[in-house]
Structure 1
């Protein structure tokens, strides 16, 4: 449960910081955005995108779900290997 809570906090925090930084940089910039501001914003944006992607890839803290998916896949592979061995024995006889 604590992984799910911290992942949601990270996800919403990354979205919030991205929106806040974008608002402060674009606000009152009718004449244009300076290069230093753009570089600063882009470095923060990369960190926020990485945080959001990490949270998505881990399934919002469901690390156990990914482990169970791996186990299910391994079980299916083992079942198919057993079936293949049984079919080979039948063909040999």
Structure 2
């Protein structure tokens, strides 16, 4: 009878050890993920903000350029001038 109790006690101790290792592993994983997210997330946010700002600046510059070209075309200058033909044979054609 004592051997049975010792065997059950040994199995119980092994199960406790395995469960303890799993709990510690989960805590370590959560800690690593939290620390990584708190370090990586601000860096990603800063990079995304910088890229969005650069993209916005490029879009604004392109819009200004298109507006300038449109205004010049209304005055008779540039690719959209009234004197240029529709098939690209006007004075502003760069394909030649």
Q: TM class, shorter-chain normalised?
A: 0.3 to 0.5
Structure whose residues are more often helix by fraction:
1
Relative to the length of structure 1, the TM-score reads: 0.39
Which one has the largest radius of gyration?
Answer: 2
Relative to the length of structure 2, the TM-score reads: 0.38
